[in-house]
Amino acid sequence: MDDTISPYPLRIITLPIDASKLKLQSLRIQHVGHLPGRIMFRGHAKFESFAIVYIAGGKGTYRVNDGPVQKVESGSLFFFRPNQVYQYGPDPGGFWDEYYFTLEGSRVKEWQNSWLTNLDQVKQVGYEDAAQHNRIERIFIAMESGIPANIDRAALLIESLLFEFIQRAEATTETTKSGQFINLINELSDSLYQPFDAHSIAKRHHISLSTLRRIVSDYSGYPLNTYMHRMKMAEAKNILLNTSNSVKEIADSLGYKDVFYFSRIFKKYVGVSPHIFRNTMHT
């Protein structure tokens, strides 16, 4: 036991046989480890192989090269890649429970070319449940057995576990995006009767302007400015049909200080000028 890493016994298993005995050469396990109650923080760490790290409890941080410091919590998943520099570990005075799996083989590249993306980003994959714990334990038992077929099975179990983790992370991300989109739409709808200020809206939601544009485009299919013009023109049609307000008054109320510009935008999205629209609908 190394009490500089954790005050509890560590469980670390290195591939106990010659790798040539494995049938599954495209995905080879080099090491698996369980570090319960880890207290050690590592700075400027480098790794020779690809590794998957799952945090079952505790919290801390993770940083890749000169990137942002990311929070790590119970249920977090992150990765190590060769030729990168990492700073990671529990918060000062704290701990985390860590499982790691070091892998080699062409299968890892296949993952990265298809469904395993954003490798420098911490992913939230959920808490350890009984089924998940059992799957992880089977991996450790298979590695301890030293039997080639069992070690091949362990590699496939890791692949299955990782795929499930990524599906969970994507589902969590989509839910978060949906909630964020709803909040943004409410904000955008509330801004119909004032000049549109995208920078202020992005700031209030703690996102960049480019992120605001991407979110609106992803969920509406329109660029941000187009989406806002469409919503304002829909409201303009409602006002034209249900009030006697002049076109200039309507333009002013919707944040367009230039009535001629407002009329051009209206005709672009509705197909006719505001005057023709009102007269046609009232006849």
Residue 125 pLDDT exceeds 60: yes
Model pLDDT for residues 247-281, shown as the tens digit of each residue: 999 999 999 999 999 999 999 999 999 999 998 87
Band (282; pLDDT cuts 50, 70, 90): low
- Residue 218: what pLDDT? 79
Residue 188 pLDDT exceeds 90: no
Q: Which sign, positive or negative, has the C-alpha torsion 74, 76, 79, 80?
A: negative
- Residue 172: what pLDDT? 62
Euclidean distance between CA atoms 196 and 21, whole angstroms: 66
Instruction: Provide Rg for the chain, Cα atoms.
Output: 28
Band (151; pLDDT cuts 50, 70, 90): very high
Q: Which residue segments constitute the domains of the chain, with CATH numbers given?
A: 11-175 (2.60.120.280), 191-283 (1.10.10.60)
Euclidean distance between CA atoms 118 and 173, whole angstroms: 13
Model pLDDT for residues 23-59, shown as the tens digit of each residue: 999 999 999 999 999 999 999 999 999 999 999 999 9
- Residue 191: what pLDDT? 84
Residue 88 pLDDT exceeds 60: yes
The residue with tokens 């918060």 is 91
- Residue 1: what pLDDT? 45
Contact 41, 94 (CB under 8 A): no
Angle at CA of residue 72, ends 105 and 112, nearest 5°: 25
Euclidean distance between CA atoms 185 and 207, whole angstroms: 14
Most distant CA pair in the chain, distance: 88
Residue 3, helix vs strand vs coil:
coil
Cβ neighbours of residue 274 closer than 8 Å, sequence gap 6 or more: 236, 240, 247, 250, 262, 263, 266
Mean pLDDT of 235-253: 93
The pTM assigned to this predicted structure is: 0.64
Contact 246, 256 (CB under 8 A): no
Euclidean distance between CA atoms 251 and 96, whole angstroms: 58
**Listed range (8-12, 68-72, 201-205, 234-238) with the worst mean pLDDT:** 201-205
Q: Which of 116, 119, 155, 106 is nearest to 135 (CA)?
A: 155
